Amino acid sequence: MSDALRHQVAVIVGASSGIGRETAFAFAGAGAAIVLASRSQDRLETLAEEIGGHTLVCPMDVEDTMSIRRSIERTVERFGRIDVLVYATGTNIPDRTLDELTPENWDMMLATNLNGAFHCTQAVLPTMRGQGGGLIIYLSSVAVQLPDASGVSYQAAKHGLVGLAHGTFKEEQDNGVRTTVIFPGLTDTPLVLKRPTPTPPEVIAHALQPEDVAEACLFVASLPARARVPELMLMPSRL
């Protein structure tokens, strides 16, 4: 799979930590130019130094549509194209039950986990159409297939990503745009720390690692344009 993405440009939204960070490393190792996007400019700049090569740091707040548009414009100005968008950003909250959830937190959860993906999708589509194709990867959650205690706002947003992905493909397939939704199971990322009850270390020991999900993203992106993976579930083998 070495150099599978040579001469391609990948925008990684949520690149400052967790799965997004490891996806940036994986795609860079496969030869892609990497656009690092998240709210944490300091972390992105450190990551760009670690990756080296062709990287562009684009501070982005996914709740701010102008921030997203500026980042995409900078990407096209720098590299001239966008081949892959990976929407890897996401959050959750400890106070997640229906009794605890406030309207403000509901709105924030949908804004980060779903609305941001919609705005990023809209922002990259003109470029992808113009160049005759592209791939959008959305990181959802296995909670879509296996409802759990992750909270209704989290699950609603992650379900929404599925509709966004499949609806986008239906509209854009004649323009060469493909979409994939990846559903990771328990993954050892900072998001686990936001659980209301700490996950036991013996459970975390068997969780997926961020690089496992990154490799799944790389697999999908390395396929030829004639192939598409609509959905991919990735689970820990011992949980």
The enclosing H or E element of 215 equals helix 210-222
Which residues are 207's β-sheet partners? Answer: none
Quote the tokens at residue 85: 């968008």
Max CA-CA distance within the chain? Answer: 50
**Catalytic choice (154, 158, 216, 217):** 154
Contact 68, 123 (CB under 8 A): yes
138 is annotated as an active-site residue: no
d(CA 109, CA 159): 13
Q: Is the dihedral of CA 206, 212, 216, 219 positive or negative?
A: negative
Quote the tokens at residue 225: 């344009």
DSSP secondary structure of 31-80:
T-EEEEEES-HHHHHHHHHHH-SSEEEEE--TT-HHHHHHHHHHHHHHHS
C-alpha 85, offset from chain centre: 8
d(CA 141, CA 154): 9
Contact 188, 17 (CB under 8 A): no
Q: What angle (nearest 5°) sits at the alpha carbon of residue 158, between those of residues 152 and 164?
A: 130
Instruction: List the catalytic residues.
Output: 154
